[in-house]
Amino acid sequence: MPSLNMEGPYRFDIKTINEKVTRVSPGNFVLGRKNENGAFLFTYIGRAFTDLNSKLKFWIDKKDKPLFKFRYCVTAQDAFDNECENYHDFVKGGKAKHPRRPASTDWQCPRCNFYN
Ligand SMILES: [Zn+2]
């Protein structure tokens, strides 16, 4: 099984985000819940190119999920690459669209030729 390689899950609220996501950094996150067996299920994959803490808070009012996981990335492009990897490992074939790169970049998906 592929792994998200993220910390958590943690409660998806402002207090917990501030406690856990303390660095201003690019990063990746997922939002989800636990099922009746206690397994974490995520239904949203996201990324932040500059500030993961702020990006998580942006989603609080828009996604009704109780839990999140995250990881920091060194660069924005790392966050994009990881988002693509997570998409291909966990989402492809579902209704979610392929991750989008910033319009000002020529980044390539590490797993497919979406941008060729
Ligand atoms: Zn791809």
Q: What is the pLDDT of residues 63-74, one digit of tens each?
A: 888 999 999 999
Q: Is residue 53, in this structure, part of any structural domain at all?
A: yes
Asked whether residue 113 is domain-assigned, the answer is: no
Cα torsion through 37, 57, 101, 107, rounded to 10: -90
Q: Which residues surround ligand 1, an ion (CB under 5 A)?
A: 84, 109, 111-112, 114
> Does residue 2 carry a pLDDT above 90?
no
> What range defines the domain where residue 80 resides?
7-91
Predicted confidence band at 78 (pLDDT cuts at 50, 70, 90)? Answer: very high
Number of structural domains, the chain? 1
pLDDT band at 26 (very low <50, low <70, confident <90, very high): very high
What are the tens digits of pLDDT across the range 29-52?
999 999 999 999 998 999 999 999
In a domain, 22, yes or no: yes
What's the 109 CA to ligand 1 centre distance in angstroms? 5
Distances (CA, A) of 39 to 32, 33, 34, 36, 67: 10, 8, 5, 8, 12
Q: Rounded to an integer, what distance in angstroms lies between the CA atom of residue 6 and that of residue 8? A: 7
> pTM score, two decimals?
0.91
Reduced to 3 states, what is the DSSP secondary structure of residue 29? strand
The answer to whether residue 111 is domain-embedded is no
Nearest by Cα to 72 from 108, 42, 47, 90: 47
How remote is the CA of residue 98 from the centroid of ligand 1, in Å? 6
Domain membership of residue 17 (yes or no) is yes
- Residue 41: inside a domain, yes or no? yes
Domain CATH code at residue 59: 3.40.1440.10
Would you say residue 108 lies in a domain?
Answer: no
Closest CA to 2 of 92, 66, 78: 92
Q: Cβ distance 24 to 12 under 8 Å? A: no
Residue 107 in any domain: the answer is no
